Amino acid sequence: MSESPASPLVSKLERLSPLTETDRRAVADLVDDEIWLAEGQNLCAEGRAPDAVCALLAGWACRCKDFRDGRRQIIALLTPGDLIGCDEAGASRKADHAVRALTRVRVAWIPRPRLRATLAEHRGLASAVRMAVAMEEAILRAWLVNLGQRPAYQRMAFFLCEMAERVSGGTGGAERFALPLTQQTLACVLGLTPVHVNRVLQRLRSEGLVDFHNGMVTMRDPVRTWALAGFDNEYLVA
């Protein structure tokens, strides 16, 4: 009811497809329970069939594939407003990866039947959710290309360009933004070692392109950085 801090869920969906006032209210009614989770907690463990959908309201999380030897690959980064497990098929498949909080996070649980009912009733909302799913897939494809084709330096540049676009939410790319990840976590995202991540970041800074320090990114020369990375934000627009 309190309209003050617009739900990140609403604002993210709204960016993808126009919502009516009724749609917006329906979103607010979706939530069953909201909780805080500490960094490192699983929103959804690997191997379990997720019975509920959830929405990330605050903080950062990731989809993460862990190996027995301690190595891990981060498959996706999730930011406030992202829906987790909203594709219906998810209910009947064992999760092939975990969803884990990278910071302290606020999570809203949504009973799957309620989501289904709401989406059936509100076409605009359903369309926005489909767009969200499609964009998450597009990001996944972009990451695959990034890992497959770009060397470390450009790979990092590409990733930072993407995050600048994503956190700005379509307002043309943030030039300074919070990215609450350690260099180790960055390594898990990019398929590099922490040591190499460190060197690559230093090089980006010394070349005057991007500055990552203490979880804050500053895009010092977006144009040259885009060019270096071969970045094109097309896949992030609705």
Q: Which residues would be at the binding site for DNA (CB under 7 A)?
A: 151-153, 155, 182-184, 191-196, 198-199, 201-202, 213-214
Cβ pair 179, 186 in contact under 8 A: no
User: 23 or 162: whose CB is closer to DNA?
Assistant: 162
Alpha carbon of residue 238 to chain centroid: 16
User: 6 or 140: whose CB is closer to its own copies?
Assistant: 140
Cα dist from 233 to 74, 135, 203, 207, whole Å: 21, 12, 23, 23
Q: In this chain, which of 52, 58, 147, 152 binds its own copies, going by CB under 8 A? A: 147
* Nearest-approach distance from CB 182 to DNA, in angstroms: 3
* Nearest-approach distance from CB 44 to DNA, in angstroms: 22
Cα–Cα distance for residue pair 83/117, rounded to 1 Å: 16
- List the single partner that 148 binds among its own copies, DNA, none, CB under 5 to 8 Å by kind: its own copies
User: 114 or 205: whose CB is closer to DNA?
Assistant: 205
Give yes or no for residue 77 binding its own copies (CB under 8 A): no
Cβ pair 125, 19 in contact under 8 A: yes
Alpha carbon of residue 104 to chain centroid: 15
Six-digit token string for 5: 């801090």
Q: How many angstroms separate the first and last alpha carbons of the chain?
A: 28
Residues that bind its own copies (CB under 8 A): 63, 65, 67, 71, 73, 75, 87-90, 92-94, 96-97, 127, 130-131, 133-135, 137-138, 140-145, 147-149, 190-191, 230, 234-235, 238
